[in-house]
Amino acid sequence: MAVIEVRNLTKHYRMGEVEVPALRGIDLDVEAGSFVVLAGRSGSGKTTLLNILGALDLPDGGSVAIQGEDFLALSKDQRARFRLRHIGFVFQAYNLIRVLSARENVAYVLELQGVTKRARMERADEWLRAVGLSGFENRRPDQLSGGQQQRVAVARALAASPDLVLADEPTANLDSATGRSLIELMQQLNRETGTTFVLASHDPMVIASAGRLVMMGDGRIVDGEADSAA
């Protein structure tokens, strides 16, 4: 079953008086439980596509359905609620709340979902253990390494049991060993939880990890391999 269905997606950005095409008629299906990497040079459209899949940006044309729901037809507030229920994010810059502890950062999305304080703290601790950060629950982001912060971001993305996790250049600010460890963790969580992962990256190590590799160029999909063992 496809968790993502994209049809004829287009997007332009205005640069001064010129409209620059970012996406040119993208068609893409992503099966539930898959581990997909969107790859391509800077400007290929992979981050634009990821942002639209995450309802962070809107296209100029086409359709996107997540779990069969066309969220582009929703209002801004409805899209925000849709993201909260269905989508987890891992950003290049971590995007942790600096004044909160690792536990509180992971629990934050659960608070937005209305989970009780005791339950959300217990679940946050479970996910921090799952990403190898047991004992770091009370540390703030500035007391963690880059790799540890990104693991907190992964735990936060998965804590709310989303259908889909989107990661934009998740290894960009990490050394090669830490980046490899992070991707191996994501692959493990993908296998154990069945959560669908879609990553955008130009890192060769991330590209090599793909269960399915979707190559992009000039706003188009130029090659999209079928699923294979990651």
Query: What are the pLDDT digits (tens) for 5-64?
Result: 999 999 999 888 888 899 999 999 999 999 999 999 888 999 999 999 998 899 999 999
Q: Is residue 94 part of a domain?
A: yes
Structure tokens at 121: 């703290």
Find residue 19's DSSP bridge partners: 14
With a pLDDT cut of 70, the percent of the chain lying above it is: 97
* 178 domain-assigned: yes
Q: What is the pLDDT of residue 227?
A: 53
184-195 burial: b if 16+ Cβ within 10 Å, else e? ebbbebbeeeeb
* pLDDT of amino acid 19: 86
> What is residue 92's predicted lDDT score, i.e. its pLDDT?
84
Q: How far apart are CA 214 and CA 72, in angstroms?
A: 23
64 three-state secondary structure = strand
The pair phi, psi for residue 122, each rounded to 5°, is -65, -45
Residue 156 falls inside a structural domain: yes
pLDDT grade for 226, boundaries at 50, 70 and 90? low
Give the H/E segment covering residue 199: strand 196-200
One-letter amino acid of 41: R
Count the domains in the chain.
1
**Predicted confidence band of residue 173 (pLDDT cuts 50, 70, 90):** confident
How far apart CA 88 and CA 142 sit, in angstroms, is 23
Confidence at residue 230, expressed as pLDDT on a 0 to 100 scale: 41
Per residue in 156-171, pLDDT (tens digit) is 999 989 999 999 999 9
Within-domain flag for 129 = yes
- In eight-state DSSP terms, residue 158 is H
Question: Is 230 a member of any domain?
Answer: no
Would residue 229 count as lying in a domain? Answer: no
CATH number at 56 reads 3.40.50.300
Tens digit of pLDDT for each residue in 182-205?
999 999 999 999 999 999 999 999
pLDDT digits 0-9 by tens, 73-93: 889 899 999 999 899 999 888
pLDDT in tens, 98-147: 999 999 999 999 999 999 999 999 999 999 999 999 999 999 999 999 99
In a domain, 84, yes or no: yes
- pLDDT on residue 224: 65
H-run or E-run covering 52? helix 46-53
Q: What share of the chain is helix, strand, coil (3-state, %, to 5)?
A: 40, 30, 35
Task: Give the C-alpha distances (Å, rounded to integers) separating 115 from 90, 118, 152.
Answer: 21, 8, 19
Domain that holds residue 84: 2-224
Position 228 scores a pLDDT of: 46
Distance in angstroms (rounded) separating the CA atoms of residues 95 and 130 = 20
Q: Model's pTM, two decimal places?
A: 0.91
